[in-house]
Amino acid sequence: MSGIIGKKIGMTSVFSANGKYMPCTVIEAGPCVVTQVKTLEKDGYASVQLAYDEKKEKNTSSAMKGHFAKAGTTPKRKIVEFKYFDTEKNLGETVSVELFSEGDFVDIAGTSKGKGFQGVVKRHGFGGVGGTTHGQHDRLRAPGSLGASSWPSRVFKGMRMGGRMGGDRVKIQNLEVIKVIAEKNLLIVKGSIAGAKGSYVTIEK
């Protein structure tokens, strides 16, 4: 499946031809360099490895320097494999945002914002217990009972409780490409995607 690595720039809004207001996300997509081509015969599966975003040589290991030199490119920060790329690619070839066109539908995966430790109301959407009767006044956001007492004398695995939230890989599917600005390597898609500004995302056709 063809794809590219990008960076989330932020959100904005546009108006469609019929005057409809549309929130959208701006992504800097590529240019990416092909740093490895895997084949069914040699590796057991076919894929294209792309690299994106410049990285200082002093912060790159010797092994990775050799890997990038083999592809004839400078060290990169982000490396992603795309299985079964639609078109044949060669080592050192550049993949740009021109891979996409207006009206295409794409799947975008990114890492969601980390929220730290959160309670059950924010993390799982609990409603909280209503009212302040019988002397209770500070339990509105509490999770309530976690289980029985004598049996099973424990809390079952998977019980929805407070804990760390966010920082997960999230894929949003079927986002429409509104505009492609090739000269600036920008891709504008309808709706929102996971991740903070400046975070890396993968865009699949």
CATH, residue 167: 2.40.30.10
Pair 114, 166: CB distance under 8 Å: yes
Q: What is the pTM of this model?
A: 0.83
Any domain includes 128: no
Place of tokens 């209503």: 130
Q: Which domain holds residue 189?
A: 1-29+96-122+162-200
Asked if residue 66 has pLDDT above 80, the reply is: yes
Any domain includes 129: no
Q: Are residues 90 and 181 in the same domain?
A: no
Asked if residue 131 has pLDDT above 70, the reply is: no
For the chain, what percent of residues have pLDDT higher than 70?
97
Q: How confident is the model at residue 5 (pLDDT cuts 50, 70, 90)?
A: very high
Element (H or E) spanning 70, and its range?
helix 62-70
- From residue 51, give the alpha-carbon distance in Å to each of 18, 68, 165: 39, 9, 29
Any domain includes 88: yes
Q: How confident is the model at residue 25 (pLDDT cuts 50, 70, 90)?
A: very high
DSSP, residue by residue, 78-129: EEEEEET-SS---TT-EE-GGG--TT-EEEEEEEPPP-EEE-HHHHH-----
Task: Tell which wins on pLDDT, 201 or 136.
Answer: 201
Instruction: Indicate if the alpha-carbon torsion angle 97, 80, 94, 7 is positive or negative.
Output: positive
Q: Are residues 104 and 80 in the same domain?
A: no
Any domain includes 168: yes
Any domain includes 108: yes
Q: Are residues 88 and 100 in the same domain?
A: no
Q: Are residues 21 and 38 in the same domain?
A: no
Tokens of 174: 């079927």
Quick one: average pLDDT of 176-198?
Answer: 92
CA distance 33 to 50: 5
Q: What angle do CA 108, 192, 7 make, to 5 degrees?
A: 55
31 prior amide bond cis, ω within 30: yes
Asked if residue 153 has pLDDT above 70, the reply is: yes
Asked if residue 130 has pLDDT above 70, the reply is: no
- From residue 145, give the alpha-carbon distance in Å to each of 120, 134, 148, 154, 155: 12, 17, 8, 12, 10
Any domain includes 103: yes
Any domain includes 17: yes
Lowest-confidence range among 11-15, 42-46, 132-136, 195-199?
132-136
Number of structural domains, the chain? 2
Q: Are residues 89 and 44 in the same domain?
A: yes
